[in-house]
Amino acid sequence: MSGKRYTEEFKIAAVKQVAQGGHPATEVAARLAISIHSLYAWTKRYGVPEAERKAVDAQSDEMRRLKAELKRVTEERDILKKAAVYFAKTSGQGTP
């Protein structure tokens, strides 16, 4: 992997050459010196209308946020469970 970063405009232009220009994906990839895998991934992402792409991006962002919140809340719950068990054990030791 080369690790190169391409601008969104470059990616959209490459996809347009395939989708609207009718050029074969392998030819476009070779001409732009990018991998065919990258071009197919860009086609999957940028081949849909912008409004739909933004909606998908918003959903992905929300999903990522919710997963992070779920992880945090689950960790908090687990800590509280352990604390409850600890205090239940220690409070019972002092009585005969």
Tens digits of residue pLDDT in 4-23: 889 999 999 999 999 888 89
Question: What residue spans define the domains of the chain?
Answer: 1-47, 50-91
Closest CA to 47 of 10, 8, 19: 19
Which residues does 46 contact at the CB level (< 8 Å), separation at least 6?
Answer: 8, 11, 12, 15, 53
Q: At what angle do helices 25-32 and 36-46 cross, to 10 degrees?
A: 110
Spell out the alpha helix ranges (H) of 6-95: 8-19, 25-32, 36-46, 50-93
Tens digits of residue pLDDT in 42-65: 998 888 888 888 898 899 999 999
- DSSP, res 57: H
Q: How far is CA 68 from the centre of its chain?
A: 12
pLDDT at 87: 93
pLDDT at 7: 93
Average pLDDT along the chain? 90
